[in-house]
Structure 1
């Protein structure tokens, strides 16, 4: 069982358009409404591939009820924690060349008592969990200190904790001793306060997070693939996508695939890359199933060229 917690979930409406032109009426070629939030997506991806997962999600308002209904329709094992605020809605506009424009609401205020209820739900679920995965942004009203304390409580309880977040919360998770961090390129650069221009820069930045207390770092780099840095060293890989449709949720699928493959070594990195590439080939926030995976397209580099420049933002 893999338990996920998404402190700031969303309803994600994705539309495919020919081109984004300011000030014009644009007609969508297609539209999809999906449950959203990083942890939610991890649970959905795991479920789609037959891996047991339980999602802990604070929900409020009509949007929260709709989010719960969508997750239940997909068969997600859900712990919905009621809150007073309204669950946020996000909009994604995807163009044929792979350009994605996202408009995200900040989300509702999470009161201390509501966060305590979420924390208790996570700790209860963690008793039977192989991993707890804390993902996404820290919602308004919740301090980084409180998020760090949640991470520390889970680690202190003997839970293997994976965290995908950004900014001070990512640093707090590292210092709390999270077993795995999953930043993207921008989040990793922000964490160390320096740009990342090469694979060597990424590895050095990941080692800094490990030096603060994290066990391993899985950095997603968009079209440049991903880098795994752990006690065994650094491994890189990539999986090309001929016709990208949406990058929304690709990093979440990468993390889900990595965890599903025991979260260690080149084999787990390869599985994560296959899941992430499959998500990019699908519209909106859809998560890939077994029929979407193209494992033969994954390339793993046990001895990476650390001087190679990064070409893409990721």
Structure 2
């Protein structure tokens, strides 16, 4: 398996574990983690840990960007760097002892038209033998949502299959370019269809609407409620028990990586997605799961989708 990832707004992620978050107080961290971040970056990290080939296409700038490239290189990941004038952003996550997560995401650099075009050119240049091109994350400042449609179209033109994980106007714009799979979470799915999702059945209907707009398949991550795979051949639901959530940063990215490395279609790939997501939430910070982390929870996959089940956190 060979997977190229594209992350137009990567980051350096700093995670601090604290006993409790108290506004205005001086807090002492019980744990500290520094990881390369961004949705596509996380996908590459999981793919590499599983022993597959991956190249991460990234616009990087400043000392932060250099550190992101260095950390990825230490994990054995090839980085195709597109130099940009602005500095790569740093994000901060604070995780409390009960698993409550507070995040501060910086906006990141504003890309010029030339830098945005260079990023698209790098995808074409490095696609090579890629089986999948995963286009992931929010667009940085300076890019119109239509840029994501151009990205998907150019990725498809290489002959690779295309996975898309973005949200808002960028997601809607890119659906017309017909990505092979999209991976929204419950809130992104609700945002895409413009209405709240109260039950699992609501999520299924919303996923079908994304398919009507151009998505080949929809892998919807519903947090603690499980995951849905909606395809032309059927709809599947999967769930795995989790003893305790330590950090859910990157869990959806790990799920997408698991799905793609397991073939990118059908119940077997869905089971792998759920196993990776369940493993990710039990790891600290932005640590991504390796194969040794996946055996903790059995995964149940069924075609009997519990459409009447209320979502534990209704999405809007």
In the other structure, the counterpart of 1:155 is: 156
Native 8 Å contact 1:229 1:235 kept in 2? yes
Matches of 1:302 and 1:294 in 2, distance apart?
Answer: 23
| Secondary structure, aligned partner of 2:310 | coil
Native 8 Å contact 1:176 1:213 kept in 2? yes
In the other structure, the counterpart of 2:128 is: 127
Equivalent residues in 2 for 1:78-89, closer than 5 Å: 78-89=79-90
| Secondary structure, aligned partner of 2:198 | coil
| Secondary structure, aligned partner of 2:94 | strand
| Secondary structure, aligned partner of 2:128 | helix
TM-score (norm. length: structure 1): 0.98
| Secondary structure, aligned partner of 2:69 | helix
Native 8 Å contact 1:221 1:313 kept in 2? no
1:71-100 deviations in Å (ceiling 9; x for gaps): 111111111111000000000011121111
1:106-163 deviations in Å (ceiling 9; x for gaps): 1100111111111111112223110000000010000111221221222244331101
1:93 aligns with 2:82: no
Matches of 1:157 and 1:61 in 2, distance apart?
Answer: 31
Native 8 Å contact 1:137 1:166 kept in 2? yes
| Secondary structure, aligned partner of 2:133 | strand
Equivalent residues in 2 for 1:57-206, closer than 5 Å: 57-206=58-207
| RMSD (Å) for aligned C-alpha atoms | 1.2
1:43-88 deviations in Å (ceiling 9; x for gaps): 0011111121110011001111111111111111111111000000
Q: How many residues align?
A: 314
Matches of 1:139 and 1:54 in 2, distance apart?
Answer: 20
Moved over 4 A (4+): none
Native 8 Å contact 1:10 1:37 kept in 2? yes
Native 8 Å contact 2:145 2:173 kept in 1? yes
In the other structure, the counterpart of 1:263 is: 264
Matches of 1:296 and 1:67 in 2, distance apart?
Answer: 31
Matches of 2:290 and 2:75 in 1, distance apart?
Answer: 13
| Secondary structure, aligned partner of 1:124 | helix
TM-score (norm. length: structure 2): 0.97
1:34 aligns with 2:67: no
Native 8 Å contact 2:18 2:94 kept in 1? yes
In the other structure, the counterpart of 1:11 is: 12
Q: Give unmatched runs, 5+ long, in structure 1.
A: none
1:269-311 deviations in Å (ceiling 9; x for gaps): 0011101111111000011111111265211122112111111
In the other structure, the counterpart of 1:279 is: 280
In the other structure, the counterpart of 1:307 is: 308
1:201-245 deviations in Å (ceiling 9; x for gaps): 111100101001110000001101110001112111111211211
In the other structure, the counterpart of 2:223 is: 222
Matches of 1:152 and 1:67 in 2, distance apart?
Answer: 27
